[in-house]
Amino acid sequence: MKIERGNFGSKVGIVLATAGSAVGLGNVWRFPYMAGENGGAAFILIYIACIFILGIPGMLSEFIVGRHGQANAARSYDKLSGGKPWKFIGYLGILTSTIILGFYAVVAGWCLQYLFASIVGQLSGDVQYVKAYFQDFSCHPVYPVLWGVYFILVTQWVVMRGVRSGIERASKFLMPILLILLLVLVVASCMLPGAVDGIRFLLKPDFSKLSGGVMLEALGQAFFSLSLGTACLCTYASYFTKYTNLLNSAGQIALLDTIIAVLAGLMIFPAAASVGVSPDSGPSLIFITLPNVFQQAFSAAPFVGYIVSLMFFVLLSLAALTSLMSLHEVATAFFEEEFHTTRKHAAIVVTTTTIVIGAFCSLSLGATDTLTFFGRSLFSWFDFITGQIFLPIVGFLTCIFIGWYVDHQIVRDEFTNWGELRGRFFHLYIFLVKYVCPLAILLIFLHQLGALN
């Protein structure tokens, strides 16, 4: 059976959909804190260098595999592999996306619950209250699972409508809203009394903080933030057209992702500085520290505080949704094409799998301790195995595959759109992908496992 493949209809659609995958909770809860703690503008400069050295070449490599393959990730790797088992990179990418989809949906569900809670005004209270609220909620056996299920059903609804009228349309609508909300929140936060201290924390350059470890952190964050190593970029690239300029698109996506991460910092730190709270990173930042910070910061005008909190959780939910769409699409495309079924059936299989994974992850956070192994919850195991092991393996092997194995004429054809573009940076790209990227990923891997500090 020949399946008619969908594709993206416009350049803007391509950039927004792929940036939607890249812009996620990591931009809000990881990047700003990392930057603030590790040298401010000095860190941001290093981060930008990492985007050029690892991020853009890494993206390009996945784009090349996907656009050449014009199929799901497993088949795309297979097409370039000349009968050798490189397709396992694709399988590993798909497995990784599916597991991430499971636990990302749990956190996305929390965002939705918090959105609801801020609408009905349940989040107002002191620090202790907000902390207890989060603890009670995230450990509850039923509610977080239900919110996660709602979220994944919304994702499925978008994905089922197809690449162009589902994913592309949703991204073109949601990404501008996300950007506008973010800008409004940045302005509101920077206008608070004492906001300057927060801005200074984020931006004041301090080059003395740039150790080897910090540089590896920056590399790791560049890798994660651009959604490398999950087959998402490869799958989306299979919907690009033959006119898509891969290098320009990668550059634009990386630029958007970085701007949004810096803006997230300008949203968080000024408000936190204004109420004298020192923010941290990870889930506790957005579910414990910030709800309270926004309320306190705008306590003189409670209605503004109410709106700001609400906007903040809408923003997070949108960021999570566009990332979930890309994760869902990876596995949906795989099932649809490899099992010759309809998109609808494929999407339902993926959703069901996600709900099972997500439910176990959610329950492992406190509702039961049978899901804790060697002192680590199932949630945290999945996070660890995918984030620190599978992602780097997929990223590393993709670079080796493109740099050392695939015929460079094919790579050049994809890079230059079969000679249409000049391909000025082609040799630089090949150099990076052959030597620099694999080495960088290896170092990140060792650093994250604690072998290099």
Shortest distance, CB of residue 122 to ligand TRP, whole angstroms?
26
Shortest distance, CB of residue 367 to ligand TRP, whole angstroms?
25
Tokens 């930042």 sit on residue: 285
Shortest distance, CB of residue 119 to ligand TRP, whole angstroms?
24
Shortest distance, CB of residue 25 to ligand TRP, whole angstroms?
5
Residues in touch with ligand TRP (CB under 6 A): 21-22, 24-27, 224-225, 227, 230, 232, 323, 326-327
CB 64 within 8 A of CB 47: no
Shortest distance, CB of residue 193 to ligand TRP, whole angstroms?
31
Within 8 A by CB and 6+ apart from 176, the residues are 16
* DSSP-derived secondary structure letter, 359: H
Return the residue nearest ligand TRP (CB atom): 24
- Among residues 331, 376, 320, 289, the alpha carbon closest in space to that of 151 is found at 320
Tokens 């990668």 sit on residue: 250
CB nearer to ligand TRP: give 26 or 144.
26
Q: DSSP for 61-128, please give it.
A: HHHHHHHHHTS-HHHHHHHHTTTSTTHHHHHHHHHHHHHHHHHHHHHHHHHHHHHHHHHTTTT-S-HH
* C-alpha–C-alpha distance, residues 412 and 396, integer Å: 20
The tokens of 362 are what?
A: 């959610």
CB nearer to ligand TRP: give 14 or 273.
14
Locate all alpha helices (DSSP H) within 30-86, ordered by sequence.
31-37, 41-50, 56-69, 73-80
CB nearer to ligand TRP: give 226 or 293.
226
- Among residues 1, 35, 416, 47, the alpha carbon closest in space to that of 246 is found at 416
**Rounded to the nearest 5°, which phi and psi values hold at 205?**
-75, 135
CB nearer to ligand TRP: give 27 or 274.
27
CB nearer to ligand TRP: give 103 or 201.
103
CB nearer to ligand TRP: give 305 or 392.
392
Shortest distance, CB of residue 22 to ligand TRP, whole angstroms?
5
Q: How many residues does the chain have?
A: 453
CB nearer to ligand TRP: give 97 or 244.
97
Shortest distance, CB of residue 137 to ligand TRP, whole angstroms?
21
